[in-house]
Amino acid sequence: MSTFDPDALECLAAIVEEGGFERAAQRLSITQSAVSQRLRALEAQVGTVLIVRSRPLKATQAGQLLLKHTKMIRLLRADLERDLKELAPSSLGGSREEERISIAINADSIATWVLGALNKLATEGLPLEIITDDQDFTQEWLRSGQVLGCVTTLKLALRGCKVVPLGAMNYIAVAEPTYAAKHYPEGMTAYNFRATPFVAFNRKDDMQGEFVNHVFGLKRVALNQVFVPSSEGQVRAALAGWGASVLPELIAREHIAAGRLINIAPNKVLPIQLYWHCWNLESDVLDALTTALLDAANVSLLKE
């Protein structure tokens, strides 16, 4: 098998991760012409196109395989970096920009328990990149080779990957008290949930409908929704009376305790099981990430 030029591989990764040739050139501190030349040389070596020149740019299937290979090389470098720092703590500088360790995490986990889990690794210098997406879609980042691990609701492991159960996040329906008193004086029921809009994360987010389906035993619902693409933004919109919202109990509890929000469907809970997926490789970095996430999940999430 041919040996691929590491600089060309990082060039391919930069194009995909930055979304274009110009930004890739800026990240790698080379000219845009040099980026194109490195990509052409790599495509000539592989014998196929690696990038689809679309908006946004996308890696072809062959490009995704090389992207995954590049991230494996980064992981090996990160493992070596950790080992060498233990032997000679003052011998190494910081990691290069292109050696980032990328993982995909759902927004609600980022807003609640994940950052605390990763705090030690980040402060020790692990060059983390956290990509956020809906928990039902984070696995696609792993499937395409763009990340080395993800937190997702999907249980089935991808080929070449391992899966670790993390626990469940409980979701509850909430609203601002004055808003709730006006629209849900007796709480949310199977007959009045259409009375107001629901504040959702984005169009991928089906949490609001899933909650209604689950707690009221309905097969299919159509909701009026407004979209605010951050967990903290959803809370602020609910506090401002934009509508009801289904939020993690971990986020809502302090606002409920302070009287800023109320639970409009008492004793109704939607548990969402989360899983950590990562490449099935021997790696100190992957092991450290897995341990950190599992330890934090054991404290913050509910077990089956």
**DSSP label at residue 204:** T
Ordered by where they begin, the domains of the chain are 1-99 (1.10.10.10), 101-304 (3.40.190.290)
Residue where the block lists tokens 């274009």: 20
Q: Lowest-confidence range among 68-82, 182-196, 263-277?
A: 68-82
Average pLDDT over residues 19-43: 90
Q: Is the pTM of this model over 0.85?
A: no
Please tell me the predicted confidence (pLDDT) of residue 138: 93
Residue 289's CB is within 10 A of a number of other CB atoms, namely 22
C-alpha span between 199 and 225 (Å, rounded): 6
Report the chain's mean pLDDT, rounded to a whole number: 89
Return the pLDDT at 92: 45
Q: Over 70: is that where the pLDDT of 285 sits?
A: yes
